[in-house]
Every structure is written in structure tokens, then in C-alpha cells.
Chain A
Amino acid sequence: MRPFTYEVATDAASAVALASVRASAHVTAPVQYKGGGTTLIDLMKLDVMRPSTLVDITTIRDEAMHKIVHTNSELRIGSLVSMAQLHDDASVIRDYPILTESLWQAASQQLRNMARLGGNVLQRTRCSYFRDTSYDQCNKRSPGSGCAALDGANRGHAVLGTSEQCIAVYPSDWAPALIALDAQVEVLGKSGKRIVAFEHLHRLPGTTPHIETNLAPGELITAFIVPGGPRRRSLYRKIRDRQSYEFANASAAVAIDLDGEALRDVRIGLGGVATVPWRAHRAESLLRGKKLTEASATAAAEAEFKDARTRKYNAFKVVLGKQTMIRALLEAQAMEIS
């Protein structure tokens, strides 16, 4: 790990003032925020991230950043709330099973205690060519160097949202749930607060895979806002190589609203198969207002994965991704809601 200066922030505005420096992207800025540190410290040890200053934000006293607030119309989650804290929230367990389940199936209890939700959505890919600096080629780590995964060990890599420069999969389980809930992100920058649709937080890799989000250097996520009230008919299904403590091969976060047998509303987020948190818009538009059956769910899944681009070892993700989505939809339909 390279030497760094350690700063302690006691309020959000001073943290932002410390971190608003010139950089080509949020993740490559020389000043980085440290929340739980579970991604950052790991990547600094690996010499993948090389900040010269860390600003500890867990010490920020702004209470709203540490709280979960429910009202009839929205759920507001402070960005410094830990994964464990949201996972254990009784109202969230009752009203947003999609959120609880996505957290429960992510990481280990130790990591859930440490990791904050703001950092969770910004966690970086597990692509081994990105994490291992002995590989020269990684466009995310070293722009313009190429992508070793294209013709490498790419079983775990993305099939949706890829480019010829990057096929790294986006790892968070919680993010597909947030995108399915139409969440918004409250961001503090040096010129004040702004609201970003969660769907617009992350950028497709395209030709600049090292620019992962639409956050400017120094911008700080302060809260997530889930509009529209409780989503009790919702769930998260995750398929992985082992039963626990493993990243997704494919996952689906589903929130539906039934009007008799018809889908009054349907939202689908996908994980483990795409380069960014993936909103299944095509599938949703085919299903909205229609009757949900195995046949209609299958047609929707086929449409969603129609443009999937596979490499040598990850073609199974197309089949698995579709099956996971179909199963999640049918299980959400079968939920008994009290």
C-alpha cells in the first residue's frame, strides 16, 4: 500500500471541500472517501487504488446520513447506514423484502457491519484482471491498455452492457434492488445538493470503462430515496456457485403490483450479468398490464437478453439470467401478502 494522509471529517460539507480536487474520474481521484473501507482498503493493498489522501466519512455527525426514515410516501436511507443496519430494520423487513433479501444474500455479517450503503453501490468490480496488477491489460485500471478478460478466464463476466473495452461485471446485490425501486440518490458537491436517478448513477463502460459513475470527483452520496411507499410484493433471487458468501452468477430483483391476474406495475433489476446495475426495461414493457404466466415471463426474459454478447466461457449466463428473472417474477406473484 502507498502512503497516504488521513483526514477525519466531522460534517459532510467539509468532507466535500477536502475531496473536491482535479481528477479524471471519481474513482481515480487522489482524495478518496473512506466509509467502511471494505472495498477501498482491499484495493489499496492490491495497489489497484492509489489515493494520497483518505477522508474518513464515518465520523460525519450529520444525523440524516446515519438514519433510516420512513414516511407514507418514501423511504429515505442515509448513505452512512451500514448494510447490517438496513438489513435489521423491522419496517424495511415488512415493507421492502426486496431490500432486506438483497442485503442478507450479500457478503458476510462482518462485512455487512462494516460496509456503508453509499460505498456499497460504488464498490468496484471483482474482475481478476482488474484486481491483479500483474496483468498489464485492464482498461479500467490503466486506460488504453486493453482488456485481458475478452479472451481470458471470463466465466464470471458480463453479457449485458458490455463493450469491446470492458466486460467486467458490476458486483453489488443491493443496487439491482434500488434500480427496481426507481430510487434516487442525493449527492452533495461543492456547489450544493443534487438528486440523481439511481439508474443514471452508473455509466456503461463504452470506450471509458475507468469512468464508472456520473459523480464528479469529490461528490459525496448522502442518501438514497425510495419513492412511492411500501413494496411488499417484492423479492430478490440470487444464484451463485456456493450457497452463501459469494457474488452472483445471476440475480433478479423484482417488485410487482397485481390487479387481479394482470400486472398493474412491474419493475425488474438484474445483477451478476451486466456491467452496471441493470434495469430490465424491455421485459417490463412487455409485461406491464398483461397477465403474468410462465409463458409471458419467458417472452419478457427472451427480449431482455436478446442483445446479450457472450464470450468463450460465459454463455451460460444468458440461460441462467433468463431463468432467474422468470423464477423471481413467478415467486413474487405467488407471495402471500398480509
Chain B
Amino acid sequence: MDEFDIDRRTFITTGTVAAASLFLDSVPVGAQNLADTRTSPVTRSVVLSVNGSDHTIEVDTRMTLLDALRDKVGLTGSKKGCDQGQCGACTIHIDGERHLACLTLTVAAQDHRITTIEGLAQSETLHPMQQAFIDHDGFQCGYCTSGQIMSAVACVQEGHAKTDDDIREYMSGNLCRCAAYPNIVAAINQAKTEMEKG
């Protein structure tokens, strides 16, 4: 397999000599070294601020924040659905904005404030959005639910939950294969009222 890869790379390189010549004037002398620092895994020590606590972990530069949260920090509430940024199951908050943990590199998450589903409740009291999902049966199998709830909290905070149409549009990045969508909309409406009361 490796041989095949090398062959293909060689092929790409030689096959595009004509095209490369277009850009020859942009190649600085001495910059080549960077391109050769490869093949073996690179690790970094990273401090992650998650739900108000700092965690110092050693990670491969390739590790996504989703894997780091689940496997290094031990917070398994954020779920891996597609791992391609298409389903929303891994939705978390970074500096208060909803992001996808599966497309975020752990090394790039340092110096940011991360909130996961585990950080929503105040000790024994559920966040109004968590309670609303229970009250309205906003799930069946529950796999997408932590992502739905994290997305929904941000949706209300952004001011994008004014109407049912708004909610449907601004929650469209969170897929639910059980199709609990009508109940999710109802839950968000209830929690919105609670959240706006403060």
C-alpha cells in the first residue's frame, strides 16, 4: 500500500512539471525543509479548558477535539456520528459558539473556552434545554441528543429561535435519524421561554 502511495506521489510530481513552472518564481530558497518534516507522528502537550477545568494532555497533532474529549479527558457525552462535519452529533461550544468537535484539531483548541454537554447542568439542576428535551420527548435512541441540546442552547442565545421556521432552519445542522424533529422544536420553544426569563 505504501509503495503505491509513493508511486502516486511521484507520478503527481512528475506529471505536473509544466504546471509547476508557472509558479517557480514563488519558491524561496531554504523553505524546502518544512515539506520534508513528515511521516512520523508529531505529538504536542496541550492545555484544554473544558467546562471550567484545565486538562493537560499529550496529543498527536492529528487528534480531533472530539477524540480528545472522549478518550483523553473522559467526557463521552459528545458523540461521533459521521466524523465528517455532516451530522452535528459532536456539537460543542467554543467560546460560547457552537462548533463541530470532529472538524476541530485539539492543538487548535488551546486557549479557548470549551463547553460540552457535561458542563450544562448546575450541579443537580438540569439546564432548561435538557429538561425541555425530557418534557417533550425530544429524542428516541438519544445518540444525536447531546449535539442537539448543545446546538439548541446556542440557537436560542444567538436569537435564531424566534419562530418554528427559524428553529428548523438554524437547527438543520443536527440530524436525527429517529426523526424526533417536531418534539425538538417544541422543546426549544419551551426552553427559550425559560432561558429568556433568566
Asked whether A and B interact, the reply is yes
Q: Identify the A interface with B (CB < 8 A).
A: 1-6, 17-18, 20-25, 28, 30-31, 34, 36-38, 41-42, 44-46, 52-54, 56, 58, 84, 107-111, 113-114, 142-144, 189-190, 208, 210-211, 216-219, 243-245
Contacts of B154 in A (CB 8 A): 109
In the complex, what distance in Å separates the CA atom of A3 from the CA atom of B38?
7
Known: A45-B83, A218-B26. A5 touches B34 (CB 8 A): yes
Known: A5-B42, A24-B13, A52-B37. A217 touches B26 (CB 8 A): yes
Nearest CB of A to B10, in Å: 12
In the complex, what distance in Å separates the CA atom of A24 from the CA atom of B133?
52
Q: Does B107 contact A (CB under 8 A)?
A: yes
Contacts of B38 in A (CB 8 A): 2-5, 30, 52-53
In the complex, what distance in Å separates the CA atom of A25 from the CA atom of B13?
10
Contacts of B25 in A (CB 8 A): 216
In the complex, what distance in Å separates the CA atom of A17 from the CA atom of B34?
11
Asked if B34 and A111 sit within 8 Å, CB to CB, the answer is no
Which B residue sits closest to A131, measured CB to CB?
B84
Contacts of A84 in B (CB 8 A): 97
Nearest CB of A to B38, in Å: 4
In the complex, what distance in Å separates the CA atom of A53 from the CA atom of B107?
13
Q: Does B88 contact A (CB under 8 A)?
A: yes
Known: A6-B105, A52-B38. A20 touches B173 (CB 8 A): no
Asked if B100 and A142 sit within 8 Å, CB to CB, the answer is no
Contacts of B100 in A (CB 8 A): 38, 110-111, 114
> Can you list 28 A-B pairs with a CB-CB distance of less than 8 A?
A2-B62, A3-B40, A3-B42, A5-B38, A5-B42, A6-B42, A6-B105, A6-B108, A17-B31, A21-B32, A22-B23, A23-B20, A30-B34, A37-B104, A37-B108, A45-B84, A46-B84, A52-B35, A53-B35, A53-B38, A56-B108, A109-B158, A109-B170, A110-B91, A143-B15, A210-B16, A217-B23, A243-B172
In the complex, what distance in Å separates the CA atom of A17 from the CA atom of B40?
24
Asked if B16 and A3 sit within 8 Å, CB to CB, the answer is no
Known: A6-B44, A37-B108, A110-B98. A42 touches B37 (CB 8 A): no
Nearest CB of A to B99, in Å: 5
Which A residue sits closest to B151, measured CB to CB?
A110
Contacts of A113 in B (CB 8 A): 97-99
A143-B16, A245-B173 given; name 6 further pairs at CB < 8 Å: A22-B23, A22-B31, A24-B13, A30-B35, A42-B85, A208-B19
Q: CB-CB contacts of B32-70 with A at 8 A, as 1s and 0s?
A: 101111111110100000000000000011101000000
Contacts of A111 in B (CB 8 A): 85, 100, 173
In the complex, what distance in Å separates the CA atom of A111 from the CA atom of B42?
27
Which B residue sits closest to A31, measured CB to CB?
B34
Contacts of B97 in A (CB 8 A): 84, 113
Please report which residues of chain B, range 93-116, place their CB below 8 angstroms from some CB of chain A when the two chains form the complex: 97-100, 103-105, 107-108
Asked if B99 and A110 sit within 8 Å, CB to CB, the answer is yes
Choose from A24, A54, A108 the contact partner of B20 (Cβ within 8 Å): A24
Which A residue sits closest to B170, measured CB to CB?
A109
Contacts of B17 in A (CB 8 A): 24
Asked if A4 and B15 sit within 8 Å, CB to CB, the answer is no
Contacts of A114 in B (CB 8 A): 99-100, 103-104
In the complex, what distance in Å separates the CA atom of A308 from the CA atom of B44?
51
Q: Does B74 contact A (CB under 8 A)?
A: no
Nearest CB of B to A156, in Å: 15
Asked if B11 and A142 sit within 8 Å, CB to CB, the answer is yes
Q: Does B12 contact A (CB under 8 A)?
A: yes
| 9 closest residue pairs by CB, A with B | A108-B173, A24-B16, A52-B38, A244-B172, A30-B35, A216-B26, A245-B172, A22-B27, A113-B97
